Amino acid sequence: MPDNDTPSPQLSPAARRYSVPFMVLLGLTLLLYLFSIPLAYGMLLTGPAAALVGLRALWVTRKDKALAYFRLSMTFGTIVAGFMTVTALGLVVFNGIMTDLSDCMDRAVTRSAADQCEQEYQDSLNNVVEDLYERFGVTTGS
């Protein structure tokens, strides 16, 4: 019986060298995100590192047309790593507000106290965003 299977492309040693560390760094970044503050600040290190390794893997495989699906998945993974880096930067900017909300919710016993915590969180968040708008000269039109 003849073998009619189409051959699947094999990863080159250069692509393999970068794909394994990329997946480890991306997985670690996503895991740190799940752990929330303070471990989520590790995303500031693992997110950019994963993005750089992903870009390097894309660079070394740029001429190999048989690895299109590999390159596509590496591209999406690199985008996710970049997004997680931006998320980590957001955690840094809004750290005080999120910590205050967590502390307030820990002390809240009744539903009205929890609602008050949510309202204080929203007010603080709006104040920080308005300060950022003023700092960078962005007008909101309102």
Domain ranges of the chain: 13-93, 96-136
Q: Per residue in 86-114, pLDDT tens?
A: 999 988 888 888 888 889 989 989 999 99
Contacts of 46 (CB under 8 A, 6+ apart): 25, 28, 29, 32
What local confidence, expressed as pLDDT, does residue 56 receive?
Answer: 94
What local confidence, expressed as pLDDT, does residue 116 receive?
Answer: 93
Residue 120 in this model has a pLDDT that exceeds 60? yes
Please state, for a pLDDT cut of 90, what percent of the chain lies above it. Answer: 46
Please state, for a pLDDT cut of 70, what percent of the chain lies above it. Answer: 92
> For the chain, what is the mean pLDDT?
87
Please tell me the pTM assigned to this model. Answer: 0.75
What local confidence, expressed as pLDDT, does residue 16 receive?
Answer: 86
pLDDT band of 30, cuts 50, 70, 90: very high
pLDDT band of 77, cuts 50, 70, 90: very high
Residue 7 in this model has a pLDDT that exceeds 90? no
74, 22 in Cβ contact below 8 A? yes
Burial (CB < 10 A; 0-12, 13-18, 19+), residue 111, is: exposed
Peptide bond connecting 48 to the previous residue in cis, omega within 30 degrees of 0: no
